[in-house]
A = this chain, B = another copy of it.
Amino acid sequence: MTNCTCGAVDVHTHFVPEHFPAYIGKGTEVPWPSIVPAQPCHRHVMVSGKVYRTVSDRTWDARARIGDMDDLAIGAQVLSPMPELLSYWLDADDAAVLLRYINEEIAALVNNSAGRFFGLGAIPLQDVRHAIAELDYVINVLKLSGVEIAGNINGTPIGAPEFEPFWAAVETWNAAVFIHPLRPTGMDRIVGPKNLEQVLAFPSETGMALASLITGGVLERHPNLRIAASHGGGSFASLLPRLQHGWATFPNLREGMSRSPSELSRLLYFDSLVYEAETITTLMRRFGETQVLVGSDYPFAIQDPDPVGRIEQLSLSESHRALLLWENAYRWLGISAGG
């Protein structure tokens, strides 16, 4: 595989475009994003007149990103939209316009990067037909590697039956999927500051979303899907032994699940963004050393500052090290040997 000498692939990095187009739709009070200047090298992403997040120029600036990548021994980044940009709460026609713009911005970065960037697009899953049309464009026209989706679409988990045509299209077009938490469940159980949303509710949300892919039959019906989960799958690994026991104990949980949850779970990929070497080892043991990918959340405040160093701490064999640092990522992205 010619990519093997290029360094690690960081599959969990986010992108925000430097500008947004003006809203030209028919709605009023639409939470359409815009960008305004902030402190040096930063801009505010504004939504509905308020600062949603202040982001650094690293969210769009290829040169700054590549400088950081060189410092961190990252050969390539997989770019995915800042999750809030997925825009499931917009009217689907409005979202289609916004996401098309973002997808083309990502494609431009990828195409000018000499192989340093891969891209995941965004699709308006609030309307499955629109989403499949944009998936077609993302994969077959822009030639991105796949799409980022949230674990729920306006509250509906991604294993729900209504998303079946989407999963079938993903499998047909061999797209990679990256699942990221967004507007998570469980916020009613948080005591403390607002940023506990991403700290506590995000991993809980992802755990439930991945479980829905199993209990909803998606992985059984589409075993060729290549789905990666952010944050090491969140709480999913901790839910799995009980789901396995439930499946073995209750006949009704085996209807539509001829393969066990443990077996199906090993079809999934998991990024290494768990902030702890031991948990990465547990992911490798539970899901297979072919299923773990480097992820950092670059360039956001919660990022792992040295994702490759964390893998190097594990003292892996050379073959397992190559799997984790790049081979698994290329397989997940659908890039074959020599590609």
Contacts and interface: CB of A to CB of B under 8 A. Distances in A.
Nearest to A208: B189
A325 B273 CA distance: 35
A122 to B, nearest CB: 21
The copy count of this chain in the complex is 2
Contact of A190 (B157, B191, B234, B279): B157
Interface of A: 151-152, 155, 157, 159-161, 185-186, 188-193, 195-196, 198-205, 207-209, 211-212, 215-216, 231, 234-239, 241-246, 249-250, 252-253, 274-276, 278-279, 282, 285, 301-302, 304
Contact of A199 (B161, B209, B246): B246
Given A198-B246, A242-B275, 6 more contacts: A200-B242, A202-B242, A203-B242, A235-B235, A236-B238, A238-B238
A188 B186 CA distance: 10
B246 A188 contact: no
Contacts of A151: 189
B252 A195 contact: yes
A238 B237 contact: yes
A250 B192 contact: no
A275 B195 CA distance: 33
A191 B220 CA distance: 14
A211 B241 CA distance: 21
A201 B216 CA distance: 15
A160 to B, nearest CB: 5
Contact of A188 (B185, B190, B202): B185
A336 B121 CA distance: 61
Contacts of A198: 246
A160 B192 CA distance: 9
Q: Interface centre among A160, A192, A196, A252, by most B CB within 10 Å?
A: A192
A243 B212 contact: no
Nearest to A246: B199
Given A195-B250, A196-B253, A235 B274 contact: no
Contacts of A205: 189
Given A207-B235, A235-B207, A302-B249, A243 B191 contact: no
A261 to B, nearest CB: 10
A151 B239 CA distance: 17
B199 A243 contact: yes
Contacts of A200: 208, 211, 215, 239, 242-243
Given A157-B191, A215-B190, A302-B246, A276 B208 contact: no
A159 B190 CA distance: 9
Contacts of A282: 282
Contacts of A185: 185-186, 188-189
Nearest to A303: B249
Contact of A274 (B157, B199, B242, B250): B242
A87 B242 CA distance: 26
A42 to B, nearest CB: 18
